[in-house]
Structure 1
Amino acid sequence: MTTRVAVVTGGAGGLGRVIAATLLTDGFRVALLDRHGAPEAAGELGALGIDADVTDEQSVRAALDGVDERWGRVDALVNNAGVEPAHTLEDLDPTVWQGILDVNLAGPALMIKHCIPRFRRGRGGRVVSIGSRVWLGGGATAAYSAAKAGLVGLTRQAARELGPLGVTVNVVAPSFLRTPLNATKGDPAFVEGFARRFAAASPLSRLVEPLDVAAAVAFLVSDRARAITGETLHVTAGTHLAPYVA
C-alpha cells in the first residue's frame, strides 16, 4: 500500500474526470468525491468513487474514512468541486450567496481540515485547490468571484499552518474552460461567442483546455514542486493579464 493516494472533489464533473485521469496516469490511486455520479465516473476511470457533499462535515469525514479503509492513506487533495448559479449583486439572494461560498470556499476548508490527520500520519502531503482568474478582478458572478478570492487567502493561511507537517498548499487558477459547468451559463450560441471573445483576449490566441489545468495540478502534487507553497498558478493562456494589445 505504498502507492500515493489522491482525493479529487467534484470528481464526476468534466474537469474532475480529466484531473483524475491525469493523476491515474501518473501512478496515483484516485478517489473521486461528488454529490452525484461519483461511483459511475470512478468505474469508467478505474478509480474509487464515493458519494460525498463537501459542505457537510459528517459527509466529508465519512468519505475520507472510506478512503482510509480502502488504501490507508491520503497523500494529495484536489479541491475541485464548484458551483456558480447566475446572479448579479442587484438581484442577489442571500441563500444563493451562502450556497456558493459553502461549496467553493467552506468545502475546501473542511476537506483540508479532515486531511490534516492523514497528512500528519504520512509525514507530508499536497493540497491543490481549483481557483479562477476572476479572483484578481471579477468578471464572473459576485459570490463566485468572492469565493475564489477567499480561496487564495485560505491557501496562503493553510500553507503557513501545514508547512511544518511537510504539506504544500497551492491554487491553480484557470480561465474559461469548455466544461459541462460552463456550458450551463447560457444557450450554445452565447457560450460559443463568449469562448471566441476569450480566445481573442489571449496573447496566445487560444482557450485553456481541461488537460492544461490537470497538468498544472499534476505538477503541484509531484515531488518536483516540493518547494512551492502558498502560490497561485494561473493557467489562463495569458487572459489574467491586463487587456492584451497586439
Structure 2
Amino acid sequence: MNPTVTVRPVALVTGAAGVLGRAICERLCRDGMHLVLADLNLAAAQAVADNLDRADGQGALALQVDMGDNASIAALVEQAGGHYGRIDVVVNNAAVNHRGSLADFDPALWDHMMAVNLRGPAVLCQQVLPYWKAQMSGRVINMVSRCWVAGGPPAYVACKAGLVGLTRSLARELAPYNVTANAVAPGMLPSAFTQDGRDEAAFERMAEGAVRVTPLGRLTTPQDVANTTAFLASGDSAFVTAEVIHVCGGSQLAPFGNL
C-alpha cells in the first residue's frame, strides 16, 4: 500500500475458514487491517470473524464465495467493496486438491482444480483491479506450495506452478498502479486439507518424511505462513514483487518423491 494513505487498509482473504486462512486473518487483524473473510463455508468464516481480536472501529466481514464460479467471485468483490469502499490486499489462499496420478486422474476433477486454484485467483484480481487503479496501490499474495518446484500430484502441481506464472504476470501488469504481486510457498503443515483422504498412519508417515527432507527439521506452521503474508501485505515489502518466498525450512531443495 501507499505509505501516505492513512485510512485502515482492507484485506480480502479467500479460504479464510481453514487453518491457514484463519492464521492469516488473525495476523492481518493484529496489524490493524479490516478483514473480508471469504470462504465456501460461510458459517465457518463467520466463526473465524467473530473470534478475531479487533480494535475499536476495525471491521471483519464474512462472505461466501465459490472460487470456481466467476459470478460468485464478482458478487464477493461487489459486496466487499461496497461495504468498505476499497480493497487493498488480496490473499488467494482458497484451494482444492483431488489427488490422483496421471494414470488414474479424472479430467473433470482436473478442470475443477484448475477453476478454483488458478482461474479463480485471476478472476478475483480482475474484479478488484478497478479499486487498485483508483487507489494507485495494492497487494496480491498468492498461496502456492513447495511442490511447484519439487513435483508431485500432476494436477495440483500444475495449478500451483501456473499460479507462480500468474503471479509474475500480475507483477508486470499491475506495477503501473503501484500494486505488487508475490507468492508464498509453504511446506507441509498439518491441516484438514493435507490430512484429507489419509488415515492417521499414512499422514504420520508423510509428516515424518517431510521433516526428514527439511534442513530446519520441522513442519511448517500456519503462523510461519501468516507472518510472511503479513510482511508482503505491509509497507515494508513495497519494493518486493514477482517473488516466490518459500516458507518450508529449505524443503524446496528436496524432490517430492523423497517424502
Q: TM-score, normalised by structure 1?
A: 0.95
Out of 33, 47, 57, the residue aligned to residue 70 of structure 2 is 57
- What is residue 20 of structure 2 aligned with on the other side? 15
Query: How far apart, CA to CA, are the structure 1 residues paired with 2:176 and 2:197?
Result: 41
Cross-structure match for 1:220: 232
Does structure 1 retain, via aligned residues, the 8 Å contact 2:231–2:237?
yes
Q: State how far apart, in whole Å, the 1-side matches of 2:176 and 2:17 are.
A: 33
User: What RMSD, in angstroms, separates the aligned Cα atoms of the two structures?
Assistant: 1.3
Count of residue pairs brought into register by the alignment:
242
AA aligned opposite 1:101: M
Matches within 5 A, 1:56-75: 56-75=69-88
Q: In 2, are the aligned partners of 1:198 and 1:207 still within 8 Å (CA)?
A: yes
Equivalent of 2:50, from 15, 39, 43?
43
**1:6 maps to what in 2?**
11
Percent identical among aligned pairs is 42
Q: 4+ residue stretches of structure 1 with deviation over 6 A?
A: none
How far has the Cα of 1:118 moved from its partner?
A: 0.9
Q: Is the 8 A contact 1:39 1:51 kept in 2?
A: no
Give the equivalent residue in structure 2 for 1:34: 39
1:93 equivalent in alignment to 2:110: no
TM-score, length-scaled by structure 2: 0.90
Match of 1:210 in 2: 222
Match of 2:159 among 137, 147, 161: 147
Aligned partners of 1:75 and 1:124 also within 8 Å: yes
Long gaps (5+) in structure 1 = none
Q: Secondary structure at the match of 1:229?
A: coil
Distance 2:7 2:104 in 1: 51
Distance 1:55 1:100 in 2: 8
Is 2:93 the partner of 1:80?
yes
